[in-house]
């Protein structure tokens, strides 16, 4: 009876763990961190995955595309997409992939025309930054809050819009 109870508990635990993870076939691994609604962003691991941060960037870029400067423009504005600034503790965060995804979302929207930084004529410069803040609870629990911001400046350097989003990753000790 004791053995049967142990087997049932083990199977239950494995089932629960399997249900909490997702299979990321593209990267060939299983992870338990993913983007969900802002109200449910507390996770069980502080390691952010590439797919999570790319989804994070997509959501934020789409917010910017709904702004009056882009969505209500008479013709697609010419935008310089400045290099993304990485101000996190994670040296392995693949900034080029995030930058490429932001550019792809902008291009696929057909709402803007992307021009090179050497262009003489443009309407806006888009600057993006990702930061993090690490805190620890008294019991040793770790919380990492990631913030991504997009700022849109006009040709005269005036800030026209700013959008941000947060992602909190939590790890029990």
If pLDDT is split at 50, 70 and 90, which confidence band does 163 have?
very high
pLDDT of 137 higher than 90: no
* Predicted model pTM: 0.69
pLDDT of 67 higher than 80: yes
Q: What is the pLDDT of residues 76-107, one digit of tens each?
A: 999 999 999 999 988 888 889 899 999 999 99
DSSP states of 57-118 as a string? HHHHHHHHHTSHHHHT-SSPPEEEEPPPEEESS-TT--HHHHHHHHHHHHHHHTS-EEE-TT
Fold of the domain spanning 41-171: Rossmann fold (3.40.50)
pLDDT at 93: 85
If pLDDT is split at 50, 70 and 90, which confidence band does 34 have?
very low
pLDDT of 142 higher than 90: no
């Amino acid at each position: 009876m004791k053995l049967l109870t142990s087997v049932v508990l083990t199977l239950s635990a494995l089932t629960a763990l399997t249900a909490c993870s997702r299979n990321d076939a593209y990267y060939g691994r299983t992870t338990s961190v993913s983007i969900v609604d802002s109200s449910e962003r507390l996770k069980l691991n502080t390691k952010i995955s590439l797919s999570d941060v790319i989804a994070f960037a997509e959501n934020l870029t789409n917010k910017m595309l709904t702004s009056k400067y882009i969505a209500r423009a008479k013709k697609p504005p010419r935008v310089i997409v400045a290099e993304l600034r990485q101000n996190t503790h994670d040296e392995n965060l693949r900034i080029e992939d995030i930058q490429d995804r932001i550019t792809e979302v902008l291009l696929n929207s057909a709402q803007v025309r992307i021009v090179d930084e050497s262009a003489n004529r443009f309407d806006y410069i888009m600057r993006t930054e990702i930061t993090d803040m690490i805190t620890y609870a008294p019991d040793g629990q770790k919380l990492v809050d990631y913030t991504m911001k997009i700022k849109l400046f006009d040709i005269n350097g005036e800030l026209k819009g700013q959008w941000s989003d947060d992602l909190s990753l939590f790890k029990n000790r």
